[in-house]
Amino acid sequence: MKKYVYRIGCFFFAVINWKAANCQVKSIILNRYSDKNLFYHVGTHTPLSRFDYQQIAQKFKISLTGLVLDKITLNRFISKVNDTRIKDFDRTTFKINIHNRDPFTSGPGKLLNTEEIVIADAHSQQITVNLKSRKIKLPDTVFFVAIVFLKSSENERLVKGYPDGSIPFLPPVQEFKFWPVYQPFINMAAEKGPVLNVWAMDSSGKWSLYNYFSPDLTDLAISAELSSSSN
């Protein structure tokens, strides 16, 4: 009899604990960034480095597993130029991928979204993507939100460089070539964290830490809103 009482007790204790763990998580926002002082962005060739990446990703860490990704908010560079000849500089279509952690590289691994997430925007600096209906469950305590650059003419923007691929510090006056880059140019968060959380996928499909702004900046201006699966 004692044994059964103990077992029933354990069962209820487990249920209460599970409930507590899940019900605590009404909504969590990870990497909450300020939309002020966003002066740096990724996605462009600069005189210091070329940006030859297919994807850029922000790493997120949580203490619980089994939560659902409800919303993503990202902030990007907007041109703000008073020149009527400059049209559609900010227009873009891109994809978002959600990745699990790769156990070997600790970078982005298995894809967690089963359907494509395509975003089209013409002029917004801050873009919010509602993912509730997609029910993306996060099985691990680490996940990644990746921006996939689409190499289309709509996204193509130009920088004047040299034919060898380098970008000069001053505009080239004689020999030059227009080199393409692709929208969106995702802003870096102004708040500095203890570790670098930005990963980039190169043209061969290999992920590595993106340390262009290290050690001054550590995160992309991408926040993620999570809730428990019971919601």
Partner 1 sequence: MRVLGTLLLILAFFNDEVHAQKKLVIHVYEAETNKPVSKATLKSSSNNISIETDLNGNAEVLTNDLIGADTLMISHISYSIRKIPISVLLQKPKVMLIPKTHMLRELIIFNRKRKTVTINRYNKTIPFLAGLKMAAQRLVSPRPGALLKTISLERNIKNGSNPKTRFILHFFDIDTDTGGPGGELLPEGIEVNDKDHSKIIIDLSDCELIIPGKEFFVAVEWLYIPINQYIRIRSEMFPVTEYENGQKIPWIEYTGNPSFILGKQGARPENDKQFQRVKIASGAQVSKVNQFGRLIEEPVTHYQYWFNPQLRAVLGDGPSQIWINDGTPNKPKWRSDAFRKGARLAITATLNY
Q: Which residues bind partner 1 (CB under 8 A)?
A: 39-41, 44, 46-48, 77, 79-81, 83, 85-87, 89, 153, 156-160, 163, 167, 169-180, 212-213, 216
CB 19 to partner 1: min, Å: 47
* Separation of alpha carbons 133 and 149, rounded Å: 24
188: which residues sit within 8 A by CB, 6+ positions away?
A: 38, 40, 41, 42, 198, 213, 217, 219, 220, 221
Q: Residue 187 gets which letter from DSSP?
A: B
Neighbours of 58 (CB within 10 A): 25
CB 89 to partner 1: min, Å: 6
In the complex with partner 1, which residue's Cβ is closer, 63 or 153?
153
Please check whether residue 182 is in contact with residue 155, taking contact to mean a CB–CB distance below 8 angstroms.
yes
Residue with tokens 């559609």: 88
CB 141 to partner 1: min, Å: 30
In the complex with partner 1, which residue's Cβ is closer, 4 or 39?
39
CB 222 to partner 1: min, Å: 19
**164 is written with which tokens?**
């060898």
CB 119 to partner 1: min, Å: 22
In the complex with partner 1, which residue's Cβ is closer, 137 or 177?
177
218: which residues sit within 8 A by CB, 6+ positions away?
A: 189, 192, 193, 194, 195, 196, 197, 198
Amino acid at 172: P
CB 56 to partner 1: min, Å: 15
In the complex with partner 1, which residue's Cβ is closer, 133 or 174?
174
**Angstrom distances, CA of residue 67 to CA of 112, 171, 223:** 13, 49, 15
CB 74 to partner 1: min, Å: 18
In the complex with partner 1, which residue's Cβ is closer, 103 or 215?
215
Give strand pairing partners of 142.
Answer: 61
In the complex with partner 1, which residue's Cβ is closer, 139 or 168?
168
For the chain, give the longest Cα–Cα distance. Answer: 93
In the complex with partner 1, which residue's Cβ is closer, 71 or 89?
89
